[in-house]
Every structure is written in structure tokens, then in C-alpha cells.
Amino acid sequence: MIKEYIAQLVAGSATKGLGLELPPGSVVLEKPKQQDHGDWATSLALSLAKELKRKPRDIAQKMVEAMSPDPSRVAAVEIAGPGFINFRLADEYCRRQLGKIPALGGKYGTGDRHAGKRAQVEFVSCNPTGPLTVGHGRQAAAGDALARLLESQGYRVEREYYFNDAGLQMRMLAESVLYRYRELLGGTAEFPEGHYQGEYIRDIAEACRAERGGGLGEGDLEYFKAKAVETTFADIRATLGRMGIVFDNYFNESSLYADGSIARTRQALGDKGLTYERDGALWFRATGFGAEKDRVLVRSSGEPTYRLPDIAYHVTKFERGFDLILDVFGSDHQATYPDVMAALGALGHDTSRMDVRIHQFVTLTRGGQQVKMSTRKATYVTLDELFDEVGADAARYFFLMRRMESHLDFDLDLAKKQSDENPVFYVQYAHARICSILQHAEAKDVRREKPDLGMLTAAEEMALIKHLLDYPDMVAGAAEAREPHRVPTYLQELAGIFHAFYHKHRVVTDDPKLSNARLDLCQAVRIVLANGLGLLGVGAPERM
């Protein structure tokens, strides 16, 4: 890649011009913000100034004099400002790279950096107690986009959903159905703290009555539970399906009891001296790992807390041999994973293979007002309702637009707008517009002439080409940093540069050579837009 080549040039010039051996990879290259500062720049001369006790510009001068860049790749090397060395790529080189994009198609932007490795991404993972809400939506979009980003870098990825259909929450769920069931039969529903009051519970109760009649009671909680789990899980899968998300595994916590994992993990932690008994409960020595207080692993009732299964579950992930174990959680789980991580480390697992990404919450805005949501009162907005209102594409795009660490302010009015105000339409529109141009060209039969990319010389064309060439680095960076939001940011820039180009230059003209060169450029833009949207799980429509 060109970046490595320039880094090599810099390192070589430091050796030749200054007599310095720079360790490989130590050369920092950045993309200048200002266009007239070239395509790549290094501030090496500035950082060496102190050590060498020389003026930065003199150092840069010596380095540049010792450099002999390949003119087919680097057109100019300049010293600027306090001592930056700026590199300008040869237009010819950029055009050559552009020429490779159409043949690569969907592969453009992928890399083999992690080829042969296996990754697992765990996300959503909520218990089947009700419909997915907008908060889950952000996690679903993020987890799936991360999985796609990892796949783009060569990982074979398994998407996994972890849940528990046996615990306390499920009992509450079953009882909630029972209350609603009784209500249907003329009684009154009383909801103690912690039970589920959502409308969907009534539907499940109704289904139970339709299936088994009116004679059910306390003794049929298992039936109510099974019915509720079956119904809600079907709903959850359907909702995820609307986003195009399919899990490879649904991992049930109860299997950890069945196969002895829980018992083994408990034993192993005990053997390491990491547990002790107090007040009839089994405690984990979390304070040994910097936690504020120790945590209960097994209640005095004999029932484990979520922590022990969580640890056992992650042990299975390590046993399954993944090279990368990525967990995506909401910020409400922020406090739970350090214990799990500490325990896994103590059990001898290589926790550097694990990565936990925590995302912040979503708030909805409508008409400039925040939409109030409460799980307890069941006044939350479900993901399905969101999809009904703004569409799955817009929803996914909006979920991924912001850094996961930032609170997401989801503007419902904006997401619905079919205009340039709406970022997802703006990007999709660029794609559709290109498709339309390509069709137009086809109709006019201009695709006969062999393209000569040398015809692309205008500033808008070069800007577009250079941005297209940034795409693979952007994808690799987003995957490495686990930051899906870089993709929408990039796509909006690309769409913007394309629209500007489009307005300044006509693609299909009387000049067949130029037309074909521009058509190739358009095709390359289309491919990158489609690939980028693909990473987000958002459609790239041919017409809108």
C-alpha cells in the first residue's frame, strides 16, 4: 500500500540524511486536514528537533534531500509550516488504483489481515420477556455491524444470542400471563413489583385461553411460561429479521447447568481460592481485582446469581477456541463485566482475546420533544413500532451514526424525511442517482469505447478518486477500533463529494472517451457506497 511505501521513504531518508535507524512502523503518517498540505504528511522532523538539537525545518530539509520517491507514485515532497513534510500522490497512481475497483466489486475494501481467525460476537442477549425496544435496536445494529466489519477483515464470525428462560424473570413472566388470564375470565389483574404489564402479555393470555380453555390456574405456570417464551422469541426473531439480522447460535443458560459447566466453574474458582462462604452464600473475591466489594456467586437459597453462569458461559467461549470474543452490552451492564473478566483471567484464560463494547442509551425525539419511555409502565417504544414509523434502513443507519459511547438522540421526524436533511436518504440517493446515470449510459450505448482514466483530471474528479482510495483504510480502522460509526461518517462525505462532482460535470457527453472514464468513476463510487451500506446492513437502492 501507498502508506507503507511513504513510511518506507521517510524511514529511509532518516537513515540516509540523518543517520538515524527508525524502527519499522514508528513513522507516523497522517492525512492533513487541509487539501493544500498534500495527501500524506509526517511531523517527524518536528518531533526529532529536540533530540537532535536542530531546527525542524533543517532536519526536514536533510530528509527530503535524501529521498528519491518513485515519480509514478509520489508526485511531490514538500516542506511546509514549522517542518512538516508533505507528500502529494501522483494523479496517475490514483487513477491506476481507481481502475482496480470495478473488478473488485464487493471485495473492494475487504482485507485478509485476520484471515483464518474465528470471532464470536455476542449481542442483544435479552431474555424473552417482551418485545425488543429501541435500546435493543441500537445494540442489534451495532453488534451486527461489528460482525460485518470483522468479516470484512477475514474473520469467520459467529453471532450469538445468550438468554435464560429458566430464572426469576421468567417466573415473573409466567405469573404476569396468569394475572392477565384471570383478568380475561372476569377477575382483576394485580401486578406486584417486577411483573410485566405490557399489552403483549394480554395477547399471550388470550392465546392460552384459546388453546387450553378457561380452566388454567397456579398449577399451569410452566405452560404459561412456555407459551410466553415461544411467543416473545418468535417476535424477537421476526423483529431482528426485519433488520436482516440472523444469529448463528442461541445459547441458553440452562444448558450450562445441564452439561455441568456451572459446577465445574464453581469448583475451579474454589480451587483457585477465589471464593468463600458467608451468610450461607458463596462469594467471589472481587476485591482482589480492584472491585469495591465482593460479589455473591451463589445465593443462600442455593440459586446462583447471573454472575456464575456468566463466567461459565464465557469459559465455553474460550473452550470453543475463538480468536476474538466480542461482547456488546448496554451501559446498564457496565458494572458486571469486570468481575467476569477478572474471574476468567484468574482461571487462566487469555482475556486479551476478549473485548467488551458498551453502548450508551437511546432517546427518541419527536417534534423537538423527548419521548418519555419507561419499561416498568410499558410505555417504551418497540423496535417494530420504530420500523413501522421510519423504516428499518433509516433506523439501522441512525443507530450507527454516532459513537457507541455517545448517547444517541434519535430524531424520528428527521429519520422519516425523504430529503437531503436525512443522512440515510442522502447517501442512498447518491447510489440511486448513479444507477440511473449508468442506465442512461446504457440506453445511449456509450459503453463501447475503452475507458481512458487519464481523462479524469478535474479537481472534483481527483477529490472523488482520493476519497475512494481511503475506503479500505477506513474499513480496516473501523474494524480494529470496533467503531462502526466511522462508516456512516465516511459515506456521507463520499456522497457529498459525488453530488458536488455531479453538479459540476456531465458524465454522459458527446466525448465517448471522457464519458467512459467518468462512467468508470461513477461505477467505483457506486460500489463503495453499496459496500459501505452493506457493512451497516442498510440497503443500496437502485431507485427511490
Residues 369-398 that bind RNA (CB under 7 A): none
The 8 Å CB, 24+ separation contacts for 511-514 are: 512/446, 512/448, 512/449, 513/449, 513/451, 513/452, 513/455, 514/455
Comparison of 320 and 506: residue with beta carbon closer to RNA: 506
Task: Give the binding-site size for RNA (rule: CB under 7 A).
Answer: 95
Comparison of 203 and 360: residue with beta carbon closer to RNA: 360
By CB under 7 A, residue 61 contacts RNA: no
* Residue 3 near residue 29 (C-beta atoms within 8 A): yes
Q: Please give the grid coordinates belonging to residue 459.
A: 479537481
By CB under 7 A, residue 401 contacts RNA: yes
Cβ-based burial of 350 (10 A; exposed 0-12, middle 13-18, buried ≥19): exposed
Taking CB under 7 A as the criterion, the residue among 12, 111, 345, 477 binding RNA is 477
Q: Which stretch binds RNA (CB under 7 A): 38-46, 151-159, 450-458, 529-537?
A: 38-46
Q: Report how far residue 162's alpha carbon sits from residue 256's, in angstroms, rounded to the nearest whole number.
A: 11
Least separation in angstroms between residue 175's CB and RNA is: 14
By CB under 7 A, residue 448 contacts RNA: no
Q: Which stretch binds RNA (CB under 7 A): 130-138, 235-243, 263-271, 401-409?
A: 401-409
Least separation in angstroms between residue 47's CB and RNA is: 4
Q: Report how far residue 42's alpha carbon sits from residue 63's, in angstroms, rounded to the nearest whole number.
A: 11
Taking CB under 7 A as the criterion, the residue among 1, 234, 246, 335 binding RNA is 335
The 71-110 contact track toward RNA, x by CB under 7 A, reads ---------xxx-x-x------------------------
Locus of grid cell 472514464: 517
Q: Which stretch binds RNA (CB under 7 A): 205-213, 233-241, 476-484, 531-539?
A: 476-484
By CB under 7 A, residue 496 contacts RNA: yes
Q: Report how far residue 450's alpha carbon sits from residue 494's, in angstroms, rounded to the nearest whole number.
A: 26
By CB under 7 A, residue 53 contacts RNA: no
The DSSP bridge pattern shows strands 324-330 and 249-252 to be unpaired
Listed in sequence order, the DSSP H helices in 153-302 are 168-184, 199-212, 221-242, 254-258, 261-271
By CB under 7 A, residue 408 contacts RNA: yes
Comparison of 185 and 481: residue with beta carbon closer to RNA: 481
Listed in sequence order, the DSSP H helices in 320-391 are 337-346, 383-390
By CB under 7 A, residue 481 contacts RNA: yes
Q: Report how far residue 391's alpha carbon sits from residue 260's, in angstroms, rounded to the nearest whole number.
A: 44
Comparison of 216 and 437: residue with beta carbon closer to RNA: 437
Quote the crossing angle between the two packed helices 44-52 and 56-65, to the nearest 10°: 110
Taking CB under 7 A as the criterion, the residue among 411, 520, 529, 531 binding RNA is 411
Q: Which stretch binds RNA (CB under 7 A): 13-21, 43-51, 95-103, 197-205?
A: 43-51
By CB under 7 A, residue 34 contacts RNA: yes
User: Where are any strands of DSSP class E within 447-502?
Assistant: none
Q: Report how far residue 385's alpha carbon sits from residue 489's, in angstroms, rounded to the nearest whole number.
A: 26
Helix (H) or strand (E) holding 500: helix 486-504
The 500-529 contact track toward RNA, x by CB under 7 A, reads x-xxxxxxx---------------------
Q: Please give the grid coordinates belonging to residue 160.
A: 450469538
The 163-202 contact track toward RNA, x by CB under 7 A, reads -x--xxx---------------------------------
By CB under 7 A, residue 405 contacts RNA: yes
* Residue 427 near residue 393 (C-beta atoms within 8 A): no
Partners of residue 365 on adjacent β-strands: 370, 411
Residue among 321, 311, 309 nearest 342 (CA): 311
Comparison of 469 and 479: residue with beta carbon closer to RNA: 479
By CB under 7 A, residue 442 contacts RNA: no
CA dist 278 to 268, 297, 397, 422, Å? Answer: 19, 11, 49, 57
Taking CB under 7 A as the criterion, the residue among 225, 357, 486, 526 binding RNA is 486
Taking CB under 7 A as the criterion, the residue among 292, 369, 374, 448 binding RNA is 292
Least separation in angstroms between residue 464's CB and RNA is: 12
* Residue 288 near residue 275 (C-beta atoms within 8 A): no
Least separation in angstroms between residue 477's CB and RNA is: 6
3 state DSSP class of 163: strand
By CB under 7 A, residue 316 contacts RNA: no
Comparison of 86 and 97: residue with beta carbon closer to RNA: 86
Residues 121-150 that bind RNA (CB under 7 A): 127
